[in-house]
Structures are given as structure tokens and as C-alpha cells.
Amino acid sequence: WDSVLSILQMPGGIPVATVALNGALNAGILAAQIIATSDKEIETNVKAYKESLKLKIENSAKELEDRGYQDFI
């Protein structure tokens, strides 16, 4: 808990980025997004990856809607 408070109470001018515990994938995406601010190829790849995640979620939501939640329990 102390480490969370130390992050949340960081003074202005000290940027802090946090991701969930065991959130290595999200940390990697965040790092790629930061690097992408100065690298167009990485920016393109990050956008494509995030679009693929969006489509995956939309397809899963549609399947859930079509089949009903009982099939997933």
C-alpha cells in the first residue's frame, strides 16, 4: 500500500504512469505508445494492434449477444 501512495502523491512535474499488478501486456502497450510519439512505424503498429483488440472485443460481444450468456457460464 505504501508504494501505491508514493505514486499517487507524486508532486506536480513528475510524470507517473501506472498499470495493473501483473499487467505486463498493458505496460508494454503503454511503453510502445510513448515511443510511438517519435516513431511513425511504431505508431502505425500500435494503432493496428489496438484496432485488432477492439475488433476482438466487438466480435466477442456480438457472439455473447447472439448466443446468450448461458453458453459462456
Rounded to whole angstroms, the Cα distance separating 6 from 42 reads 31
At residue 52, the pLDDT reads: 98
> How many domains is the chain built from?
1
pLDDT value, residue 17? 86
C-alpha span between 18 and 29 (Å, rounded) = 12
pLDDT per position as a tens digit, 20-33: 888 999 999 999 99
| pLDDT of 33 | 97
Whole domain around residue 30: which residue ranges? 2-72
Tell me the three cell numbers of residue 39. 516513431
Distance CA 16, CA 14 (A): 6
Average pLDDT of the chain is 92
